[in-house]
Structure 1
Amino acid sequence: MASSSSSIFFSLFVISMAPLLVSATQFPVGGEKGWAKPTGNDSETYNEWASQNRFHVGDEALFKYQKDSVLVVNKEDYENCITSNPIAKFEDGNTVFTFDHFGFFYFISGQPGNCKSGQRLIIRVMVQSEAEPPQSTTATPPPAPSTAAAPPPKPAEEGGDQDGDSFHFGPPGNLFSGSRMSVASSSFITAAVAAFVILFLFA
């Protein structure tokens, strides 16, 4: 009887952990043009690019740029192109931003005037049940450049129709940044699965 209970428990555990075992996808923001001020001859806006992709928890956005920056802001600062109070700011030219929860993420350029010219982006990270495979062909396997952790926004719809435009973000922390978070998560999952396998075999 104990063995049967252990078997059922182990099966439920594996099923519950399945979404965490799915490999993440890295999306190069803006495709080949990267993160840059629109010239007026661009074939699509950053939000049009984002609408063609499906983002999930654990995925990454790769920002490639020169003499610019990436600001993570709240909805109000996004709409008004306010650069003075970002939630997070990155200037390394090769920023990897990891989405650690579902909801809306708002990005703008830190260069004066670039946001109003169209260098801004909203990314909606969906819950796992909203997955629509396959992923966009613009995605590439993640390399290991500099990384940045995703601060946790309160989900809100674009356009201001939702209550509560502001977000309650935690500061980006090294523990949850990029590849180190992936390694820590993988190690924990591996250890947990191994422990339950042992319990299952010897129960």
Structure 2
Amino acid sequence: MASGAAASRAFSNLLVSALFAAVVVAGFQFEVGEERGWREPTGKEPETYNEWAAKNRFRIGDTVYFKYQKDSVLVVSSDDYLACNTSNPISKFEDGSTVFQFDRSGLFYFISGEPGHCRSGQRLIIRVMHPSEVEAPELAPSPASGGGSGGDGGLPNDNSTAKPSGVSYFVTALAGVFVVLALFMQEP
């Protein structure tokens, strides 16, 4: 019986470790351009693509979703980004519904493949944080300093434009299965 209990504990520990690793890898999906999507700017937009990106924190495992029509998304080098050069993309997507996942930290450069769109502002730089980057906590303002109801309460950016990706839903469901299995495997 003792060996069965030890095996059960070892299995439970393995499940918990796997669950922790899966949760760390799961990311969020950001919708580029939100409601308007990925399209050539008209000049009447409330913010540029880069202003939108600066408001968010991107991590390894996160994805960006590009929704577009009669256009494309090019992943390019920094030089090609600056020159709006569409002739040498690292990757090219033309399906109208592109999901790009960040597999490393650093800068990622995106431009439209349509002539003139990049120069009109249809380009985007995303900085993916390194896992070792630690964000200093911000203190919430005291009620006396106007931090009462309303506003953001002094909280740091919480990826409010991010949506859980399909991977996140899968990992959550998988975690539930692991918990149920671990409970059934325990001996009385």
TM-score (norm 2): 0.66
Q: Does 1:142 align with 2:184?
A: no
Name the amino acid aligned to 1:111: E
Paired residues of 2:55 and 2:157 also in contact (CA < 8 A): no
The within-5 A match list for 1:54-203 is 54-130=57-133, 135-143=158-166
CA distance in 2, matches of 1:33, 1:103: 26
The structure whose Rg is larger is 2
Q: Which runs of 5+ in 1 are unaligned?
A: 144-178, 198-203
Alpha carbons of 1:64 and 1:19: their partners in 2 closer, same or farther (altered >3 Å)?
same
The one-letter code sitting in structure 1 at the alignment partner of 2:129 is M
Shift of 1:31: 1.1
1:128-155 CA deviation, whole Å, 9 max, x = no partner? 2436576322112225xxxxxxxxxxxx
Q: Which amino acid aligns with 1:142?
A: S
What are the superposed Cα offsets for residues 83-123 of structure 1, whole Å, 9 maximum, x if unpaired?
Answer: 01101100000000000010100000000000000000000
Q: For the structure 1 residues 137 and 113, does the alpha-carbon distance in structure 2 shift closer, same or farther, using more than 3 Å as the test?
A: same
Q: Distance in 2 between matches of 1:55 and 1:20?
A: 18
**Contact 1:19/1:128 (CA < 8 Å) preserved in 2?**
no
TM-score normalised over the length of structure 1: 0.61
For the aligned residues, what is the CA RMSD?
Answer: 3.1
Output the amino acid matched with 1:56: R
Q: Which has the higher contact order (CA 8 A, sep 6+)?
A: 2
